[in-house]
């Protein structure tokens, strides 16, 4: 991870490259952006036309009418002037509307591009990255930080140009009218810049703190709500409420401070901005009285002067907005800069048919964070062979499967499919050939059908149903209110652990993968349902290379070979009775299992009530 705060020098040197990167998002829309700018130029012109019109009214129009005193006042020029003013306002309205819709359009497109890019990138990042980052934090970067970039690339950027243009226009007009007064008027400008910068900087720091706290808070809220079952079952609702309340209480002074700073900044700026006009007014009045200046000139001058300070504060604000948006840009680029550890082969090897031989050759792998390691691990599974991987919890079984799925790359040795190093294959192709079912598989908020067909949306309906039957979930789904169209998963029909596992087993079977990896995939099934799956499963497995991580003896007894793992190494392999005879660890695991088998045997024969009773120690 990049450090959050960088030295001023560091951020300076990265600045230009950041602008370059930001420009890449803007580039596709530069035509629209240029059009928007043109519209803004017109709007600036319209804004300047107003004081000019007033000057004309006082110095030319009214005296012209006054000269004609005694006779009927000619209303035609007055009417024409009124229409002219109205036109200016109307044009202003139209162009402002055009500008805003352009800005909104470009902004929405840019924000979409960045979010799509960031989201796709996040999906490509390894599971280890997702294990390290809280979902709330990822969401906050995807949504709120990207939003701040949108402002920078549209409104702020355009305002910068408009303000510069406005400033140039106003100063030219002022100098043209009365250069001495102009010099007096700009004396407070440095003060304006200074105070805006001061207050803006403070506000920015406060808002950054607020943003960080909000990200923390949203992560905490999300965690608590995700774990609501645990919270409730331990009766910790009040505790969690207190924690949230405390976080909110800590946030409050920051919010108040930010609010006060912001309004104080505005008021101080307003005060400073009045100094120039007041001086100009006093001096100007004496000039007008002395005949050195026309009244209309003075009033136009005064109005323009009021205009002058808004682009100046605007420019000072731009600086602050840019720095604050840059913090967001950094937070986004920080993620975009993380290379997916699993690099895609530049020119992946093409294969048409896959026999399904899996081979781990002298594989070495270490988790950097826990230090757990696999060392010199070699294992070959022939095509259509079924092996069981057994071992105590934490011995590295899931890690082996993750290596075969290429969720991880080995640090030494190689993992091969049909004698091809996985790194030479496209991960997409690989994962269509190898299906994995986890112990805790994920069910999407979607119909049962879509959940099963998830990996193969192109599959025919009968293929999907066949998979469901093989996983012994078909009957269950048909019994749901809307059958296969019933929405399951989060906020849908709640499935039991066993039902979820069977659904996900069906999902894995749909594409008819050459290799099937089951990681305690039937652990949540009771032995009756497992027995039911077992028959159809063994039929399916006979055509595939399969690696089954399981604890139940019933599951592993029928496999071709049992591989025993301990602490990241393979300690033995062979048939069930063979291993019982010579491998102490296997004997231990098996004995432990046999007790459980006997126990679950009781379960299957008796009613649930009896089980509960028999589970209690007899009096």
Residues near ligand ADP (CB under 6 A) = 128, 131, 367, 369-370, 372, 391, 393-399
CB-CB neighbours of 43 under 10 Å: 20
Of these partners, ligand ADP, Mg ion, none, which one is at the site of residue 369 (CB under 5 to 8 Å by kind)? ligand ADP
Helices 157-177 and 295-336: angle between axes, nearest 10 degrees: 160
> Of 131 and 291, which has the nearer Cβ to ligand ADP?
131
> Smallest distance from the beta carbon of 519 to Mg ion, in angstroms?
6
Q: Rank residues 317 and 398 by Cβ distance to ligand ADP and give the closer one.
A: 398
Sign of the CA dihedral 489, 493, 496, 499?
A: negative
- Report the partner that residue 511 touches, choosing among Mg ion, ligand ADP, none (CB closer than 5 to 8 A by kind): none
Q: Which is nearer to ligand ADP, 324 or 399 (CB)?
A: 399
Question: 316: which 2 tokens?
Answer: 């000072």
Nearest residue to 576 via CA among 593, 553, 592, 595: 553
To Mg ion, the closest distance from the beta carbon of 409 in angstroms equals 19
What are the distances in angstroms from CA 39 to CA 33, 45, 235, 266, 512? 10, 10, 61, 28, 59
Nearer to ligand ADP, 283 or 372 (CB): 372
In the complex, which residues of this chain contact Mg ion (CB under 5 A)? 398
Q: Which does 196 bind (CB under 5 to 8 A by kind): Mg ion, ligand ADP, none?
A: none
60 binds, among Mg ion, ligand ADP, none (CB under 5 to 8 A by kind): none
Kindly state the smallest distance separating residue 580's Cβ from ligand ADP, in Å: 21
Residue 232, both tokens:
């409730």
Name which of 540 and 549 has its Cβ closer to Mg ion: 549
* 8 Å CB contact between 403 and 363: yes
- Nearest CB to ligand ADP, comparing residues 218 and 399: 399
Q: Kindly state the smallest distance separating residue 270's Cβ from ligand ADP, in Å.
A: 57
For residue 441, count CB atoms less than 10 angstroms from its CB and return exposed for 0-12, middle for 13-18, buried for 19 or more. Answer: buried
User: What is the closest distance, in whole angstroms, from the C-beta atom of residue 374 to ligand ADP in the complex?
Assistant: 9
Residue 394 partner contact from Mg ion, ligand ADP, none using kind-dependent CB cut-offs of 5 to 8 Å: ligand ADP
- Centre a 10 Å sphere on the Cβ of residue 489 and count the other Cβ atoms it contains: 19
Distance between start and end Cα atoms, the chain: 60
Write the CB contacts of 600 (distance below 8 Å, at least 6 apart in sequence): 526, 527
CA distance 512 to 525: 23
Select 212 or 366, whichever has its Cβ closest to ligand ADP: 366
Q: Which is nearer to ligand ADP, 124 or 294 (CB)?
A: 124
User: How big, in percent rounded to 5, are the helix, strand and coil portions of the chain?
Assistant: 65, 10, 25
Residues 6+ apart with CB under 8 A from 597: 527, 552, 553, 554
The entry of ligand ADP, Mg ion, none that residue 98 binds, CB within 5 to 8 Å by partner kind: none
Q: Which does 395 bind (CB under 5 to 8 A by kind): Mg ion, ligand ADP, none?
A: ligand ADP
Q: Which residue is nearest to Mg ion (CB)?
A: 398
If the CB atoms of residues 16 and 370 are measured against ligand ADP, the closer one turns out to be 370
Closest CB 208 distance from ligand ADP, rounded Å: 31
Q: Residue 399 binds which one of ligand ADP, Mg ion, none, with CB within 5 to 8 A depending on kind?
A: ligand ADP
Which residue number, 348 or 364, has a Cβ lying nearer to ligand ADP? 364
Helices (H), 453-605: 461-470, 474-478, 497-509, 527-542, 553-556, 576-582, 584-605
Which one of ligand ADP, Mg ion, none is in contact with 396 (Cβ closer than 5 to 8 A by kind)? ligand ADP
Kindly state the smallest distance separating residue 330's Cβ from ligand ADP, in Å.
Answer: 27
State the alpha helices, DSSP H only, in 27-156: 30-56, 62-67, 75-124, 127-132, 135-140, 146-151
When CB distances are held under 5 to 8 angstroms depending on the partner's kind, the choice from Mg ion, ligand ADP, none that residue 545 binds is none
Radius of gyration (C-alpha) of the chain in whole angstroms: 37
CA quadruple 156, 159, 165, 166: dihedral sign: negative
Output the CA angle 598-474-514, nearest 5 degrees: 85
Q: Give me the least distance between CB of 147 and ligand ADP, in Å please.
A: 32
CB of 398 to Mg ion, least distance (A): 3
For residue 314, the partner it binds in Mg ion, ligand ADP, none, with Cβ less than 5 to 8 A by kind, is: none
Please answer whether residues 332 and 145 qualify as being in contact, where contact means their C-beta atoms are separated by less than 8 angstroms: yes
CB within 8 A of 446, min separation 6: which ones? 454, 487, 488, 489, 492
Q: How far is the CB of 391 from ligand ADP (least distance, A)?
A: 6
Contacted entry of Mg ion, ligand ADP, none for residue 290, CB cut-off 5 to 8 Å set by kind:
none
Give 287 or 565: the residue with its C-beta nearer to ligand ADP.
565
CB of 127 to ligand ADP, least distance (A): 7
Q: How far apart are CA 301 and CA 186, in angstroms?
A: 12
| Closer by beta carbon to Mg ion, 432 or else 551 | 551
The backbone region for 568, taken as left when phi is positive above 0, alpha when psi lies in -120 to 50, beta otherwise, is left
Q: How far is the CB of 552 from ligand ADP (least distance, A)?
A: 16
Least distance from C-beta 500 to Mg ion, angstroms? 17
- Of 331 and 397, the one with the shorter C-beta distance to ligand ADP is 397
Partner touching 97 among Mg ion, ligand ADP, none, CB below 5 to 8 Å by kind: none
């Amino acid at each position: 991870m990049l450090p959050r705060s960088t030295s001023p020098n560091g951020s300076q040197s990265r600045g230009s490259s950041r602008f370059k990167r930001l420009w890449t998002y803007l580039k596709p829309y530069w035509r629209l952006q240029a059009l928007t700018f043109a519209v803004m130029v017109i709007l600036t012109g319209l804004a300047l036309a107003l004081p000019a019109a007033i000057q004309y009214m006082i110095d030319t129009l009214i005296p012209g009418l006054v000269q004609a005193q005694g006779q009927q006042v000619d209303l035609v020029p007055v009417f024409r002037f009124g229409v002219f003013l109205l036109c200016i306002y109307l044009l202003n309205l139209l162009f402002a509307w055009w500008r805003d819709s352009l800005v909104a359009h470009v902004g929405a497109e840019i924000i979409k591009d960045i979010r799509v890019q960031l989201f796709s990138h996040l999906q490509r990042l390894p599971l280890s990255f997702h294990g390290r980052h809280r979902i709330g934090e990822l969401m906050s970067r995807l949504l709120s930080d990207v939003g701040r970039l949108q402002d920078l690339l549209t409104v702020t950027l355009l305002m910068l140009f408009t303000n510069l243009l406005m400033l140039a226009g106003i100063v030219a007009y002022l100098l043209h009218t009365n250069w001495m007064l102009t010099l007096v008027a700009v004396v407070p400008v440095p003060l304006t810049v200074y105070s805006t910068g001061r207050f803006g900087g403070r506000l920015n720091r406060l808002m950054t703190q607020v943003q960080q706290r909000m990200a923390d808070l949203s992560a905490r809220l999300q965690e608590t709500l995700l774990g609501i079952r645990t919270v409730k079952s331990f009766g910790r609702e009040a505790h969690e409420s207190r924690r949230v309340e405390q976080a909110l209480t800590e946030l409050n002074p920051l919010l108040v401070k930010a609010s006060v700073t912001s309004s104080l900044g505005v008021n101080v700026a307003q005060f400073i901005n009045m100094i120039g006009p007041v001086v100009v007014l006093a001096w100007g009045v004496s000039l007008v009285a002395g005949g050195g200046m026309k009244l209309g000139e003075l009033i136009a001058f005064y109005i323009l002067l009021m205009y002058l300070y808004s682009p100046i504060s605007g420019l000072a604000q731009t600086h602050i907005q840019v720095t604050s948006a840059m913090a967001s840009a950094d937070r986004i680029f920080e993620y975009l800069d993380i290379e997916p550890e699993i690099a895609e082969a530049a020119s992946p090897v093409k294969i048409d048919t896959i026999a399904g031989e899996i081979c781990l050759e002298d594989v070495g792998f270490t988790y950097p964070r826990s230090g757990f390691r696999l060392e010199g691990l070699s294992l070959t599974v022939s095509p259509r062979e079924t092996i069981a991987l057994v071992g105590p919890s934490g011995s590295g079984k899931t890690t082996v499967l993750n290596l075969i799925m290429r969720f991880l790359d080995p640090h030494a040795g190689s993992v091969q499919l049909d004698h091809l190093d996985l790194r030479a294959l496209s991960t997409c192709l690989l994962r269509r050939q190898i299906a994995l079912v986890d112990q805790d598989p994920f069910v999407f908020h979607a119909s049962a059908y879509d959940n099963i067909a998830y990996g193969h949306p192109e599959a025919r309906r009968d293929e999907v149903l066949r998979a469901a039957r093989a996983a012994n979930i078909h009957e269950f789904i048909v019994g749901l209110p809307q059958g296969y169209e019933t929405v399951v998963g989060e906020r849908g029909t709640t499935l039991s652990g066993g039902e979820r596992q069977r659904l996900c087993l069906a999902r894995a079977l749909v594409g008819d993968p050459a290799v099937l990896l089951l990681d305690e995939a039937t652990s949540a099934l009771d032995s009756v349902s497992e027995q039911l799956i077992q028959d159809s499963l063994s039929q399916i497995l006979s055509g595939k290379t399969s690696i089954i991580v399981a604890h139940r003896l019933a599951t592993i007894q029928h496999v071709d070979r049992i591989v025993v793992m301990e602490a990241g190494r393979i300690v033995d392999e062979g048939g069930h009775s063979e291993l019982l005879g010579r491998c102490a660890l296997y004997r231990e695991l098996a004995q432990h299992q046999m007790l459980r088998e006997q126990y679950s045997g009781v379960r299957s024969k008796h009613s649930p009530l009896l089980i509960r009773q028999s589970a209690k120690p007899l009096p």
